[in-house]
Amino acid sequence: MSRYVVTGTDTGVGKTLVAAGLAGHLRARYWKPVQAGLDEESDSEAVHRLTEGRAEVLPETWRLNTACSPHEAARIDGVRIDPAALVLPEGDGPLIVEGAGGVLVPVNDETLYVDLFAQWGLPVILVARTVLGTINHSLLSLEALRSRGVAVAGIVFSGYENLASEAAIVRFGQVRHLGRLPHLDPVTPASLADSVTDQIHIDVIGS
């Protein structure tokens, strides 16, 4: 059954686009447990728009006003995120869960996102940029995931092709290359769906 967590090496690396593309292609349920930042389109709203009904977008457990780390956004809102309440949605069929920021982003003052990933027990798809610095960020993220015993399904690169960096990450990280989501301008449901179909190894992810 196709049930994955999609996380990134950092914020803004394209994990929401990857999550939306996979959720739409697999006709999966999509869940963003914690949304921090409500001034602009939320990740769940973006996925709903980009999948055009092909994915079932589940409600977030926490919706926080400030666009920052969830633990700080929760403090500003006067609430505390309880990891015990962040249980995977019940039900059958494919499921895509999207993290926030990078692997080591705090959920609260004691828990990191990687701890949630270990709690959920789902394989992780790591999304990484192809720009300068991606080798270090990607390898550190892989180390952090594996240190908690989290299975890594593979890595999806986001951006313009960078064969040298991609090859180095795959080799040193001993991780499966799941494809690359190219730079999209504009980002539309059609351009995203076509790119996922053409560029991402859906046969591996969907198995």
Q: How many CB atoms lie within 10 A of CB 59?
A: 10
User: Is position 43 annotated in a ligand binding site?
Assistant: yes
User: Is position 98 annotated in a ligand binding site?
Assistant: yes
User: Is position 21 annotated in a ligand binding site?
Assistant: no
Indicate if 32 belongs to the active site.
Answer: yes
User: Is position 99 annotated in a ligand binding site?
Assistant: yes
User: Is position 184 annotated in a ligand binding site?
Assistant: yes
The H-or-E segment that residue 191 falls in is helix 189-199
Exposed / middle / buried, residue 110 (Cβ in 10 Å: 0-12, 13-18, 19+): exposed
- Please give the Cα distance from 32 to 75 (Å, whole number): 19
Pairing status of strand 95-102 against strand 29-31 = parallel
User: Is position 15 annotated in a ligand binding site?
Assistant: yes
User: Is position 92 annotated in a ligand binding site?
Assistant: no
User: Is position 60 annotated in a ligand binding site?
Assistant: no
CA distances from 169 to 135, 154, 163, 175, 196 (A): 6, 11, 10, 8, 21
User: Is position 51 annotated in a ligand binding site?
Assistant: no
Exposed / middle / buried, residue 72 (Cβ in 10 Å: 0-12, 13-18, 19+): middle
User: Is position 84 annotated in a ligand binding site?
Assistant: no
Catalytic entry in 3, 25, 29, 32: 32
- Binding site: which residues? 12-17, 43, 98-101, 182-184
- Binding site for Mg(2+): which residues? 16, 43, 98
- Binding site for ATP: which residues? 12-17, 43, 98-101, 182-184
Residues taking part in catalysis: 32
